[in-house]
Chains A and B, each alone.
Chain A
Amino acid sequence: DTGVSQNPRHKITKRGQNVTFRCDPISEHNRLYWYRQTLGQGPEFLTYFQNEAQLEKSRLLSDRFSAERPKGSFSTLEIQRTEQGDSAMYLCASSLASSGGLNEQFFGPGTRLTVL
């Protein structure tokens, strides 16, 4: 399977614990995005990387959230001291950068986080 993969698919944690999610993009894609999606809403942008550089972060991304993309390949999203409001689907997407182009994104299956 050469699509975007995410692990784990589901995570249940207790409030205050730290969690880490992993995303493996399509191999030739240089852009990688993290989104958060809650019920009845579209994906909300969190952050994105071009290669290994984190180029933009949303105001939604509090200090408890950190993302990395070492060597421009896979990426991790860590949430420290989880809160119940962090419960959501965390989606990863990748795309191939092109100047003035569509920026077509391919999404992974998501990691569903439940904070008890």
Chain B
Amino acid sequence: QKEVEQDPGPLSVPEGAIVSLNCTYSNSAFQYFMWYRQYSRKGPELLMYTYSSGNKEDGRFTAQVDKSSKYISLFIRDSQPSDSATYLCARGGSYIPTFGRGTSLIVHP
């Protein structure tokens, strides 16, 4: 079983929609999680990270960890066409972070 799993999508939404991107993880001992955004043919860029459980908000983005179900989520409010990208979740807090395969998001005007 992979440490972090994501549905690859694509997920297509209209501009202004609330987007929910999700990952599951395998080990309840994992504490740190990261969300990266990757535009086509570019390197990933860190959006947010969370530690343990609960929510973390940054502008239009909210990251959430549910340790009981081993589920991590990224919510994007008022989505914009510029949010169209692949979103990667990752487990941090170790020497070698591991990544999900990414979910492709398309926000159409």
Contact = CB atoms under 8 A, between A and B. Distances in A.
A45 interface: yes
B45 A100 contact: no
A102 B98 contact: no
**Range for the number of chain A residues in contact with chain B:** 20 to 34
Interface in B53-109: 88, 90, 92-102
Contact of A107 (B32, B45, B51): B45
A8 interface: no
B45 A104 contact: no
Interface string A82-113: 00000001010100000011111111111010
Contact of B99 (A43, A102, A103, A106): A43
B44 interface: yes
B88 A100 contact: no
Contact of B51 (A45, A56, A102, A105): A102
A106 B44 CA distance: 8
Contacts of B90: 42
B44 to A, nearest CB: 5
B58 to A, nearest CB: 14
A24 B89 CA distance: 25
Interface of B: 6, 8, 32, 34, 36, 41-46, 49, 51, 88, 90, 92-102
Interface of A: 4, 6, 31, 33, 40-45, 48, 55-56, 89, 91, 93, 100-110, 112
